[in-house]
Amino acid sequence: MIKYLLIFLALSHLAIAQNFITTSGRQLQLEGKPIVLKGLCIGNRVWENVPLPTTHITEADYKRIAAMGANVVRFYFNYLTLEDDINPFNYKQSGWEWLDTNISWAKKYGIYVILNCHVPQGGFQSQCNGSSFWTNQLNQRRATAMWYNIANRYKNETQVAGYDLINEPTPLDSVSQWQLLAQRIIDTVRIVDTKHVVVVERVNAVNCNWSNSQNMNYVKVNDPANNIMYTFHFYSPHEYTHQLQTWAGTGEGGPYPDEKIIVTPTDLKWINGIFNNAKPTSGTTPWTFYEGQLYKITDSTLLAGHAAFVTAKIGSGTIWFDDFVVKEYDENGVFVRDILTSNVEDLDNWDAWSANNTGQATLDVGGHVGLYCLKYTGSTSDASVNNWDNKFEVKYNYSYKISGYIKTKDLPVSSFSMLSISFYNSPSGKKVMRRNKDNLRAQVAEYVQFGIDNNVPLYVGEFGLVRNCFENNKGGDTYINDILNIFDEYQLNYTMHVYREDNFGLYSGVTGQVDTTTATPALKVLQNNLKKNVNSLDEPNDGVSLLDVIGFQPNPTNSKVFVHTKDSQELQILVTDIIGNLKLTTKDNDFDISFLPNGIYLVQIIVNNQLITQSKLIKCD
């Protein structure tokens, strides 16, 4: 019986969803034609727990958003809009009327709406403050029931593009904890609505651990309506996109692009370190300079290193570190440069470790030159203090050494301490990159791979920059232009965070009429992108005609590719992976990529020594 019910639901979806946006493989479609959703998020003061933010967004704002060229908004709402904690499962008419009004305004100006529960029962998830959503089963039942009622109310509303169930879920136990709940909500929604796309977010963190696990923390769900879109949010590099925000714990984030800033793979693994440098004697010593020993990189897999202060069994003794330098030498032992210099003036991004969880690293006054230095005491085992922000790239057959100042007090005879360098590789074989567009593309490609592997559409539900990124030549407009171009390369649906807000807003302020004089440079960049042909994959160089090259097909493919041209031209075709490693070069109009692993590649077509176009090519079975 269940089998026939599932078939019926799927057929019903095909039969009656012609006026609804639906999924089709890796695309969204409307009435059988591909559509890419591109627009903005509307914040609605959800973090302030305002049930009805009626002065935040008005009809005039939808008109303005439509004039930008957007075709969708991601509409945040707080559960308090529909339900109170003292009266669960009873829904407010005022909340329904507010949602109805916004959907009607959106319809008037041709804007689709993705309804997003940004704050569920139990609290806002993104900053790990909503643990009761996971510990209190009543909250999960309330969220499930709320989505049932939303779906039941809007099941015939074509202007609603989809239901984004929970923003940035942060389960306490595992990724599967969200997977099970998402499945339960989907199954409940499908009782009354098989026509709308359901948007499923990847896990933001597990118990506030932000590292990615298998499949980038996506959760795969089953849907009898076959109408699921998966979403990820992109705020990378975080120290840049969120710079100078005390609530985010970020300091100065620097500019974009910046070729001096290296970006290391997320799967870095410690391999070895320097442990033969000079050590202070036991007892008490004043500030003393310790010259390091050269360490030659003979392991070709090593990618990066960082400075570390290594100690062991110092007990009640105390050691201070300050003013260190890492020097780089070439294959012949000739000095190249000071690759890293530092005097310790704060504890930002310093991380203390010990084998038995003893010891403490603190900032102390009385530095060697400056006001402060790093103080460490109390460890009864092997220990180290590391700063992940001072990572640097290492080269095969080059040599490195670290030197600096140490002072001590009452060090035991059995202890030792020294300046050191820790060295890392990437088990997956990834390379060190720079803060630039290539690195952004490589990071987006990791998220996109899930869509390719599972043949499902992807949606960038949030991305954006704090307003500080558009000041003092920080390059915020360049960043937004680059990331939008990358989203277009992959034909990703997206909504930029956020229409109005004092931190990320295209416009500042949260109530009353929008002050258009507060617009950031991102507005112009976004408008230019929104008004482009959303189905175009080409990125021609300025001033170069595309008339000689029609394109290539099939795409995706598992074997042959054919390049179409109007006339006989001398072609050169380069195929690279997403981070620029050359995989194939040919002068033939047709070429075979069957030997390449499944994934996304870039095809550069050069005609008469001029780059005519660069487009993505998807290899899949």
Cβ-count burial of 21 within 10 angstroms (0-12 exposed, 13-18 middle, 19+ buried)? buried
Residue 540, pLDDT score:
36
| Selected residue with higher pLDDT from 579 and 67 | 67
Average pLDDT over residues 103-115: 96
Which distant-in-sequence residues (6+ apart) come within 8 Å of 247 by Cβ?
none
Q: Are 495 and 114 in contact (CB under 8 A)?
A: yes
Element (H, E) at 418: strand 416-425
Question: What is the tens place of the pLDDT at every residue in 417-450?
Answer: 999 999 999 998 889 999 999 999 999 999 999 9
Lowest mean pLDDT among 209-213, 373-377, 600-604, 611-615: 611-615
3-class SS string, 448-500: HHHHHHHCCCEEEEEECCCHHHHCCCCCHHHHHHHHHHHHHHCCCEEEECCCE
Residue 612, pLDDT score:
60
Q: How far apart are CA 417 and CA 564, in angstroms?
A: 66
Residue 74, pLDDT score:
98
Residue 389, pLDDT score:
77
Residue 312, pLDDT score:
92
pLDDT of 394 > 80? The answer is yes
Lowest mean pLDDT among 38-47, 257-266, 322-331: 257-266
Per-residue pLDDT band for 347 (boundaries 50, 70, 90) equals confident
Closest by CA position to 504, among listed 247, 282, 179: 247
Cβ-count burial of 512 within 10 angstroms (0-12 exposed, 13-18 middle, 19+ buried)? exposed
Average pLDDT over residues 518-539: 75
Two structure tokens written together for 261: 């800033």
Average pLDDT over residues 475-488: 96
pLDDT of 179 > 70? The answer is yes
Residue 299, pLDDT score:
96
Whose tokens are 């709320």? That residue is 146
Of 9-23, 24-38, 547-561, highest mean pLDDT: 24-38
Average pLDDT over residues 459-464: 98
Cβ-count burial of 428 within 10 angstroms (0-12 exposed, 13-18 middle, 19+ buried)? exposed
Lowest mean pLDDT among 12-21, 45-54, 301-310, 521-530: 12-21
Q: How far apart are CA 281 and CA 286, in angstroms?
A: 11
| Dihedral pair phi/psi, residue 10, rounded to 5° | -65, -45
Two structure tokens written together for 521: 């440079």
Lowest mean pLDDT among 25-29, 489-493, 535-539: 535-539
Mean pLDDT estimate for the chain = 89
Average pLDDT over residues 31-57: 95
Residue 568, pLDDT score:
56
Two structure tokens written together for 296: 């030659």
pLDDT of 61 > 90? The answer is yes
Residue 578, pLDDT score:
66
pLDDT of 7 > 50? The answer is no
Q: Are 434 and 257 in contact (CB under 8 A)?
A: yes
- The Cα-based distances of 41 to 58, 116, 423, 461, 498 in angstroms read 14, 10, 42, 8, 5
pLDDT > 70 fraction of the chain, expressed in percent and rounded:
91
pLDDT of 375 > 80? The answer is yes
pLDDT of 6 > 50? The answer is no
Residue 534, pLDDT score:
38
Per-residue pLDDT band for 596 (boundaries 50, 70, 90) equals confident
Average pLDDT over residues 596-609: 77
pLDDT of 575 > 90? The answer is no
How many separate helices (H) and strands (E) can be counted in the chain? Answer: 10, 33
Residue 372, pLDDT score:
95
Question: What is the tens place of the pLDDT at every residue in 50-59?
Answer: 999 999 999 9
Q: How far apart are CA 162 and CA 158, in angstroms?
A: 9
Two structure tokens written together for 83: 């339900």
Lowest mean pLDDT among 64-68, 71-75, 214-218, 301-305: 214-218
Which distant-in-sequence residues (6+ apart) come within 8 Å of 251 by Cβ?
239, 243, 244, 348
Average pLDDT over residues 106-113: 95
- Which residues are 288's β-sheet partners? 406
- The Cα-based distances of 65 to 45, 136, 444 in angstroms read 18, 39, 26
Residue 431, pLDDT score:
92
Per-residue pLDDT band for 501 (boundaries 50, 70, 90) equals very high
Strand ranges in 545-598 using DSSP code E only, listed in sequence order? 549-553, 560-565, 571-577, 582-586, 590-592
Which distant-in-sequence residues (6+ apart) come within 8 Å of 301 by Cβ?
271, 425, 426
In the chain, the amino acid numbered 235 is Y
Residue 77, pLDDT score:
98
Would you put residue 509 in left (φ > 0), alpha (ψ -120 to 50) or beta?
Answer: left
